[in-house]
Structure formats: C-alpha cells, structure tokens
Structure 1
Amino acid sequence: MLPVYALLSLLRMTFAYIFSLIFSLSIGILAAKNEKAEHIIIPLLDVLQSIPILGFFPIAIIFFINLFGSYIGAEISSIFLIFTSQVWNMTFGVYEAVKLIPRDVEEMARVYNIGRFLYVRKILVPATMTKLIYNSAMSWGGGWFFLYASEIISVGNAQISLPGLGSLLALSLMESPPRIDVALLSVLVTMFLVSFTYLFIWRPLIEWSENFKYEYSAGERRRIRLFEIPRVRIPPFLYRSFFRAIRYISKLPLRNFMARLGGILRSRAVIIRRVFFLLLTAFIVYAVVKTALSITPESISSEYIKEPDLVLMASLNSIRRVLAVLLISLSWTVPVSLLVGRGKHWNEFMLIFEIAASFPIPVLWPFLVRYIVLPLGEGGFEVAAITLALFGAQFYLLFNSLAGVRSIPSDLEEMRRVFLVKGALYFRKIVIPGMFPSIVTGLITAWGGAWNSLIVAEYIKVGEEIFPSKKSQYGLGTLLSIAAWEKGDVSSVIFITAVLTIIIITINRTFWRFLYNYSAKFRVE
C-alpha cells in the first residue's frame, strides 16, 4: 500500500503545483505591471500567505465538500490546501522579478512597439524564470511539509482521512502508543521523492534558469541546455536514462497538433470566451446558493468570542514566537547564502536544503516531547515551538537569499576584480545591495511561513498527550488546531483566522510595505 499512498500524494502535489504555477505567473505579472491591481493584490497576498493552512479549512469544508460531496470534495479540498502552501511564495517571486526588469529593456519594448503577447512571452516570462524556479523548489518542499495537514479533513465530529503519506504519518503519531516505525517509514519514502524530484527536475531547471539572468557586459557565456546532464555523484546511467526518455517524449509530433488546436481556439475565441463566462457564472450562482443553504445560526457562533483575554494572550504569544523565528533565521541564512551561493559545492548544498525544507516536522514530536518539553517544563515547550516553527520559515529566507546571490550580474564581479574591490567593501557595496531585494522578499515569505508553521509548533499531539497543557502558553496556532482538528468547529476557525488577519494587515501596512518599497532602490540598472 505504501507505493500507492506515495503515488496519490505525489499526484495531489503535482496538481496543486500546476495550479500554483498558473496563478503565480498570471497574478504576479498583473500585480507588477498594473499599478491599480498592485494596490489590491499585494496587500491581499501579504495576508493570504500569512494565514496558516488550517485557516483555509472553512473554504474547503463549506464550499468544496458541500458542493462535491465527501470523497470528491475532500480530494479537491486537499489539493486546494496544498495549493495554499505553495502559491504565495511563487507569486511574490514572479512579482519581484518583473518589478526588477531593467528600465532599458522596457524602453526597448516600447521603442520597437512589441505586441502584448510577444512582450509577455519574450520579456516578462523569461525575466521570472530564475526567481520562479528557485521559489518553485522551495514551494514544492513546503507542500510536502504541510502534506499531513492537507490529507486529514475534519467536518464536525467526523474526520476524513485521504490515503497518502501525510495522513499515514499523522495517524501513526496519533495512535496510543505512537507508531514511530510507520511514521519513520513514511518520512523515508517522502525523502526519497523529494530527492528524486530535486535531482531530476529542480536541479536541471535551476541550472537552465541561469540562461535568463540579465547581464550588462558582452562577455561570452555558455548557454545551458534544459536537459543537459549535470555532473553529480550518482550513477550517470540514471541521468542518461531519465533525460533520454524526456527527449524522446519532447520529439513526439505534438507541435503540429498544438498549432492546429491554437488556430481553432483563436478563430473561435469570442464564442469560447462567452460560453466559458456563462458556465462560470452558473457554477458560482449554484455554489453560492448551495453554500448559503448549508449555513445555520449555530455554525456562525464561536466559543472564543466569549474569551477575549485568552485570544489576546494567544496573539501576543504567537507574535513573540514569530519574531524570534525571524531573527534566528536571519542570523544564519544570510551568512550561509554568502558562503554557499558562489561556492564549488552549490548543488550538493541545494539538495541538502531541499530535503531539510521538505522534512515532515510532526515526526519530531515524540522526541521533542521526551527530551525537551517534559524535562524543561514551560521553557521546554517554548524551545520546541520555536524549533518547529523555524523549519517552516527559515528556508524561505534561505532560498530567496541564495537566489539573490546567484542573480548578481557577472559584470559587477568583473568590475570588482578590475578595481580590486574585496573584503568588507565588496560585501558592503556589491553583494549586500545586490541581494537586498531578495532578502526582503525572503523575510516577507518567511514571516508568512512562520505563521503557517504555528499549527505545527503550537499544538503538539503524541498519542493521548497534548501540548501545551497550560492555557498561559496557548498561541493562535493552538486555538486554530483545537478548533479544526479536535472539534471541527468551522465558526471558531473563521474567528481565529479573522484575528490573525487583523494582526497581519496591521504589521504588513506599517512595516513590510515600507521595507519592500525601500528595497526597490537597490535595483540594478
């Protein structure tokens, strides 16, 4: 059964990533190129990327399950929840990449009156490739990280467990006593899938994305082919077999078929558009009516409304933990990015980072409880919570910082060698300014990742034991997890998500927006 579970989880991950890719390219480019849309989309994304995955449970339950039934609705809900753990980081990467397109490229497009479709295909999409592929690798890992929360759907007192590696891991840890052997086996299979996808998909794509880096000098640079076999310390025949299969598939006579299909679609574009919007409108009306009929007065009242002191205390605890996570992440990811980003062992480190970013943290719960929480008491839970939240936040900052180091134009490196700029001056005047926009993007996505991780960090369940045991240590993640997993209380999930949204909007508008605008001063022209 384990191979079947692995295949099902992989399929859910793939569908979620495809939807994330379409969303990030369309919305990210729209936000970067349309100022009116930017003022709406970016604040909205700031909020959405900070809402924990359980905050989207009401949409999954009220909308998808009521609309499509328990099984199909649960499958769609699972894909949607994985989508919410992948898409925001990718969208911010696309937005940043388009905003940092040099002005002379934009001027060239205007002077030569390049058409809209050609402008998107030849300038905007290529400009996003480096950031999009780096962030895709990170988002793919984030999807595996939250897989266990996406494959178990609680509806009232009922619990729908979809067959997959995530549900297998979560259910094995909820048994009394916990089935550590089953949990470790599911983790090993997950690590194998993560390693395979990185070595055979993300690594070649990362190498290929170097072709799209803007250069400002005329020096010769070898173009990297998409399916070029990179040097790696594993048997070469594995790479050869895999990429030969890909080349064979790419040579199949699909181009003529796609050209004919494109011509048919263009010739009937108006009719297709009208039929699509008609069907979409009918579906939305049907969904709204069916959802409205399922809402009762009891379903919109939360017990947390009667406990404002508990909610306030939980909010302050969560804010404190998130700030600690950001400071710790910043203290080590930027120095490591500087050391690894231009080193000889770049690919080996990237594989390690990808595996670490995808590691399912719930498997650490029994060990953290036994060796940290129980011996140290209240302080032990704080250490465990911050440690768990770090795994969900620090790699966003690391991957963005690495992308910033790798995206520094080579002509600046040539200038540095000519003028003998080195040491502290080199880092202060070239490296740090060059990667500063990426650091800011990483901090914003890590901020969202930290809030997302609170559902893992502030609610630890091993067998029949639940931590934290004292309400004074509760965080918003604790309240959200109790409402979603133990009670299936949709109204309480909505209420805690609303509180979380208010906190996020306040901090985003007062701090992160200022920092993002300030980082635009470091764009290379």
Structure 2
Amino acid sequence: MKRYAPQLVADKHLTGFSWRDAMVLITLFGLFWSALHFGRGMLVAFDGAGLPELDMSTSQIPYYAGRTLMRMWIAFAFSLFFAVSLGYLAAKNKLARSMILPALDVLQSVPVLGFLSATVAGFMALFPGSLLGVECAAIFAIFTGQVWNMAFGFYHSMITIPTDMQEAASTYGLTRWQRFRSLELPASAHSLIWNSMMSFGGGWFFVAQSEAISVMNKDLKLPGLGSYMAGAIERGDNHAALLAVIAMLSLILVSDQLVWRPLIAWADKFKMELTDSGQAPTSWVYKLLRGAYLFDWLQQRVWQPLGDMLGALQARTKQRPKALRRNRPNWLLRALGLLLATWAIYEVVMACLAALAALHGALTLGQFAHIAWLGFLTFLRVLAMTILATLIWTPIGVWIGFHPKAARIAQPLAQIGASFPVNMTFPLIVGLFVATGTPINWGSIFLIAMGTQWYILFNVIAGAMAIPNELKEVASIYGLRKWKLWRTLILPAIFPFWVTGACTAAGGAWNASIVAEIATWGTTTLKADGLGAFIAEATKSGDTPMIIASIGVMSLYVVLLNKLVWRRLYAFAERRFRLD
C-alpha cells in the first residue's frame, strides 16, 4: 500500500528560493488582486427596484467571466466544506445519518429555481441596500447545483474504507483528527476530486439560471457570463452567444490545467495498492509546485510547528482525568447536536405550515393530479436517461480509467461536456428539432442527458482509476478477458462509484428538466409536457401555490426513488463490494 503523504512538497528538501517560487508568489498575488477587483463589484449599492441594463458589448466579457468564476469558486468552497462535514457526520453517527441522508434526498430534488424563489427575498433582506444580497442568492443557487454529488460521494467513500485499515488506525491509537487526516480523507481523495470536478461542471450548467434570475415577475441580471448568455439567448444574438461560449470554454480549460489535473496527479499517491501503476497521471503544474522551495519552507516553519503545538495540547488533554476527558466533549457535542436538530425541526415545521397556508384554497385535487401526471412524464425521461447513460458511458469510463494517457485528453473534454449550459445549444437544437419534426417530448431526454450523464461517467472513471494495480496484475495472470474480467473485477470494483453517479445523475436530471423541457431561441419556443416546464413557468410568473405544489411533487418522486432504489443499492455496495 502506498504511503499517505498529505504534503505537496517534493521528497527531497530544496535549499533555496528559485524561479518556481517567484512564479508561485506572483500567481498568488494575482489571485489575491483579482479577488479584490471582482469582489468590489459585489458590494455596490442596490435599491431593490432593479439592476441597471446589462452591457452586452463584447469588451465586458472578460470582466463578466471573472465575476462568474469568482462566484463559482466561492460556491465550491462552501460546497466542499458542507460535503466533507455532513458526509463525515453521516458516516460516523447512525442518528445523524438517519436525518442527513433523507434531508440530502429532499434537497437534491429541489430545483435551482425553487431555491431562488425562496432565497432571493431573504438574502436581499439580509443585506439591504447592497448588491451583496442578490450575489449571495446567486452563489447559493450555484452551491445547490454543486454540493449534493460531492456529499454523497464523500459519504460513500467513508463507509467503504477497508476494515483492516480501520482496525490498523484503532490499533495505533489514532485520534479522530489523525484518523481523518491519515486514513479517511486520503482514502476518499479520488472520489472527492472527481466528484468535485463534476460538481463544478454542474455549477457551470446552471450558471445562466443563477445569474439571470426571473422570480416573482422580477428580472434580476447580475454582471456575469451566465447573464450575458441569457441576454444573448433572449435577443437571438449568435455572435454574442458564440463569444460567451468561447470565454466559458477557456475558463474550463484553464481550471482543468491549473486545478483539477494537478489534484488528480497528487491524489495518485493515495491509491490503495501494493504496486505502483505503470502509467501514473501527470501534470506540469504539479511538477512545478513539487519543485518549489516555498512549500518546503512552509512545512518546516509553519505547519510542523503548528502540528507540534497541537500534539502538545493533545498530550495535556490525555493527562486529565479520564472521566473529564470522556464526558465533557461528548456532552458538549450532544448538546450542540440536539440544539441544531431542534432548530432544523422548527424551521421545517414552520416552512411546512407556511406552505400549507399558501396552498389552502389555491390548489384543487384536479390541479394536484395534473401536476403528479406531469411528474410521472418527467420520471420516465429521467429513467430513460439513467439507463442510456449507464449503457453508453460505463464502458467508456472504464477504458479512460484504465488508460491514464487517454484520460489526459478525455478529462478536459468530459469537463467541457459536463459544464456546457444546455441553453447554449438551443440555437442548434431548436432549429434541428423544428427541421426534423422531432417532438420536444422526446428531444428533451437528450437535453436532460447533456447535463447529467456526466455524473455517471466521472464516477465510473474514478472507480476504474481506484482499482489497485495488483488486482489488475492478478487478473492478467489468471487470463481473465472480456466478460470474465468485467464480471470478476471491473463491475464489483466500480459498482459503488456507479451507484453514487447514477443516484446524483437521476437527482440532477430532475433539476435539469426545468431547463431541458422548455427550449427557447429568439421568438421560437418548444415546450414539453413535464414537471420541469411547469416549474419554470410557475417560477417566472410568481405563482407561489403552484411553485410549492410542483416542487413538493418533484421532491416526493425523488425521495421515493432514493428510498426504494438508491438507498438499497448503497447498502448492497457497502455489504458486498468493499476492498477488504
């Protein structure tokens, strides 16, 4: 098994400052300046009556791209913290798991527009007279498009850590923090990084809906690439739409080279295997960072002293009476958990009462039956997308995971596909559907798949890359080929990852149906019969009872599907397909 080494520095200690360190410092300074420059625009005055007209000139695209990228990374930071915290708590505590997993099931089923309709007014009231309220609402909407996949992926990685490694950590007497840092986080690295890439792409997918907010008969367009795309779509401006697409693709490729590819190369050291793979993932940025003296200096002068200080504090804690050490933290944690649970239950009850009050007298049985029927039609599209995406992308994902050289090309292409907003395909799709006479009721399946099939692909790639090299060698020695290899090694190894990908793909498909079941370009609009189109229209018109009823029906479908299908598959994967 490879040695877990959380630091990013090279194995040998460098002796002095070099040009690599200068490049790192210049880059950090540039990032800090960019954050100040683009963040300043979030704090301008805003009276709530409306935003100034969006400037559609091409010279504004770089600034809009920077504003959007900043929102994306802020949302991702919150998503990462949320996913790791809740995933860890759900994996470690049965009572917390019984509340967290159903809550995640419900929350991932609530569409982005559903969050916007409920949060825009709240954030604007929280920051009166400032654009920061609308900015927070947009960031929160992007957060809801990113976080659920990461949370499910991290949770499942935690519960499938091999038993012998858990026992070894207990034998060595590791504290919770030492166990988390040395075992649990490294063991989850591959899944967390690949799911983070997919979640970041999911944020791009909904960026237009997050920045061009149409709720309660109000149109709020924040300066950003998503709102620029929305404006181009409304005007049918092909030139502006093309420039926005080029800017977005550039940001995706830069993020891949500077962030995701180095992280994948770094995470290769955390594979649970006894022999090294012949083709390890590489990254020029990762090589540059490994050769920088700055990180070695920080390790020796900052992180190591802090670690020694924490170790001394832990040693003092161990010298206290055992009863005091054991009972006080447990009592405090339980009290805090009870307080948070009470607050959450109170908020849920109050929200349900407010929803019932809004629905009273405004929703008939016939209207509810119609909404449920539309939900069933969307369910059929989600089911078709999940099956087709599994059949198409599972073998492709395994092939990419087994060939790191191919992954260098396929990874950015998959990120582009996952990040590409479906509404930017409307100039081609609407014309194609009209020319060929394709009904949007069938064509919307393709549009839904464009935004959600990638969850399955990314998770299958992560599962294939996480297969220990010695298992591949044993399979080769025994001459396993084709179906025998798939049945004996590949399918059992990737099944837990596929469950995570398929679950989040199905949940994301319900969300994507809002964008995919209504295709508009210029004056041409194609509308499918489904719950997504119904929610989009209700949200735009500000029909609160219909918004509540339709989101409630969508949540019910997703919760039942997760309870009857995905939770059972999670349990089956945990029971049968652990690397013990």
Does TM, normalized by the shorter one, top 0.5? yes
- Structure 2 Cα separation of the partners of residues 210 and 222 of structure 1: 12
Given residue 524 of structure 2, which amino acid in structure 1 is its aligned partner? E
1:194 equivalent in structure 2: 252
Output the amino acid matched with 2:272.
Y
**1:355-394 residue pairs with structure 2 within 5 A?**
355-372=416-433, 374-377=434-437, 379-394=438-453
Aligned to 2:167: 107
Paired residue for 2:555, among 473, 483, 501? Answer: 501
Structure 2, unmatched stretches of 5+, are 1-59, 317-328
AA aligned to 2:555 is: T
Larger CA deviation: 243-252 vs 27-36: 243-252
Aligned pairs (5 A) from 1:31-70: 31-69=90-128
Question: Residue 460 of structure 1: SS of its match in structure 2?
Answer: strand
For the residues of structure 1 that align with 2:68 and 2:287, how far apart are their CA atoms?
24
Letter in 2 for 1:401: V
Q: Which residue is equivalent to 2:531?
A: 476
Which letter maps to 2:65? A
Give the equivalent residue in structure 2 for 1:323. 383
The alpha carbon displacement at 1:512 in A equals 1.6
Partner SS state of residue 188, structure 2:
helix
**Contact 1:304-1:311 at 8 Å conserved across structures:** no
Tell whether the 8 Å contact from 2:87 to 2:155 is kept in structure 1 after alignment.
Answer: yes
DSSP-derived class of the 1:191 partner: helix
Match of 2:224 in 1: 164
Kept in 2, the 8 Å contact 1:29–1:95? The answer is yes
Shift of 1:257: 9.4
Give deviations 1:359-411, integer Å, cap 9, x for gaps. Answer: 12111112211121x2354x421233111100111100000011111111112
What is the distance in 1 between the residues matched to 2:287 and 2:420? Answer: 25
- 1:452 aligns to what? 511
Which amino acid in structure 1 is aligned with residue 230 of structure 2? A
Q: Distance in 1 between matches of 2:246 and 2:192?
A: 28
Tell me which amino acid in the other structure corresponds to 1:460: A
Letter of the 1:230 counterpart: S
SS in 1 for 2:253: helix
Match of 1:17 among 76, 81, 86: 76
What is the aligned partner in structure 1 of residue 577 from structure 2?
Answer: 522
Query: Counterparts of 1:506 and 1:245 in 2: how far apart (Å)?
Result: 54
Residues 385-439 of structure 1, C-alpha deviations (whole Å, 9 max, x = no match): 1111001111000000111111111121121233222232111111111111111
Task: Give 1:243 shift.
Answer: 8.3
State the 1:116 CA deviation: 1.7
Does the aligned pair in 2 maintain the 1:211–1:223 contact within 8 Å?
no
Q: Distance in 1 between matches of 2:363 and 2:277?
A: 63
3-state secondary structure, aligned to 1:345: helix
Q: Which amino acid aligns with 2:255?
A: T
The one-letter code sitting in structure 1 at the alignment partner of 2:246 is L
Alignment of 1:325-340 (within 5 A): 325-340=385-400
User: What is the aligned counterpart of 2:541 among 470, 475, 487?
Assistant: 487
CA distance in 2, matches of 1:363, 1:71: 27
Question: How much does 1:510 deviate?
Answer: 1.5
The equivalent of 1:122 in structure 2 is 182
Please say if residues 98 and 128 of structure 1, whose CA atoms lie closer than 8 Å, have aligned partners that are also in contact: yes
User: Do the aligned partners of 1:74 and 1:153 also contact (CA within 8 Å) in 2?
Assistant: no
Any conservation in 2 of the 1:51–1:448 contact (CA below 8 Å)?
no
Distance 2:447 2:191 in 1: 26
- Say whether the 8 Å CA contact 2:265–2:282 is kept in structure 1: no
Pick the aligned partner of 1:173 from 230, 233, 237: 233
- Whole-angstrom CA distance in 2 between matches of 1:94 and 1:382: 35
Per mean C-alpha deviation after superposition, the further-off stretch among 160-169 and 116-125 is: 116-125
Residues 464 and 494, structure 2, Cα contact 8 Å, conserved in 1: yes
Question: Structure 1 residues 403, 296: CA separation in 2 closer, same or farther (over 3 Å shift)?
Answer: closer
Greater mean alpha carbon deviation, residues 67-76 or residues 499-508:
67-76
Partner of 1:467: 526
On the 8 A contact 1:200/1:239 being kept in 2, the answer is no
- Distance verdict in 2 for CA 1:424–1:498, change over 3 Å: same
Q: Please give the per-residue CA displacement for 1:67-113, whole angstroms capped at 9, x wherever unaligned.
A: 22362211001110100111111111111111111101111122222
**C-alpha distance 425-122 of structure 1, shift in aligned 2 (>3 A):** same
The amino acid of 2:435's aligned partner reads P
Cα distance in 1 between the residues matched to 2:115 and 2:521:
24
Change (3 A) 1:239 1:434: closer
Residue identity matched to 1:186 = A
In the other structure, the counterpart of 2:412 is 351
Structure 2 vs 1, CA of residues 262 and 148 (structure 1 numbering), >3 Å: closer, same or farther? farther
- Compared CA separation, residues 229 and 515, structure 1 to 2 (3 A): closer
Residue 125 and residue 297 in structure 1: after superposition, are their counterparts in 2 closer, same or farther (change >3 A)?
closer
Structure 1: stretches of 5+ with no match in the other structure: none
SS at match of 2:110: coil
Alpha-carbon distance in structure 2 between the residues aligned to 1:516 and 1:259: 37
Displacement of 1:309: 4.2
How far apart are the structure 2 equivalents of 1:297 and 1:405?
47
Q: C-alpha separation between the residues in 2 aligned to 1:495 and 1:260?
A: 56
Offset at residue 313 of structure 1 (A): 2.8
1:135 to 186, 192, 195: 195
Q: Which segment is superposed worse, 403-412 or 338-347?
A: 338-347
Distance in 2 between residues matched to 1:246 and 1:189, nearest whole Å: 32
Contact 2:422 2:516 (8 Å CA) reproduced: no
8 A Cα contact 2:117 2:215, kept in partner: no
Seq. identity, %: 34
State the 1:303 CA deviation: 6.1
The answer on 1:512 being equivalent to 2:571 is: no
**Residues 221 and 334 of structure 1: CA distance in aligned 2, closer, same or farther (over 3 Å):** closer
Give SS of 1:113's match: coil
Which shows bigger deviation, 100-109 or 302-311?
Answer: 302-311
SS at match of 2:223: coil
CA contact (8 A) 1:404 1:438 kept: yes
What is the aligned partner in structure 1 of residue 134 from structure 2? 74
Q: Deviations over 1:303-327 (max 9, x none)?
A: 6876234313311211111111111
In the alignment, is residue 205 of structure 1 matched against residue 259 of structure 2? no
RMSD across aligned C-alpha pairs, in angstroms? 3.5
The change in CA–CA distance for 1:221 and 1:242 in structure 2 (over 3 A counts) is closer
In 2: Cα distance, 1:342 partner to 1:160 partner = 46
CA contact (8 A) 1:109 1:119 kept: yes
2:365 maps to 1:310: no
C-alpha separation in 1, matches of 2:300 and 2:537? 52
- Aligned mates of 1:260, 1:240 — CA distance in 2: 28
Q: Is the contact made by 2:358 and 2:545 (CA closer than 8 Å) also made in structure 1?
A: yes
1:152 positional shift: 1.9
Q: Which amino acid aligns with 2:171?
A: V
Give the 3-state SS of the residue equivalent to 1:49 in structure 2: helix
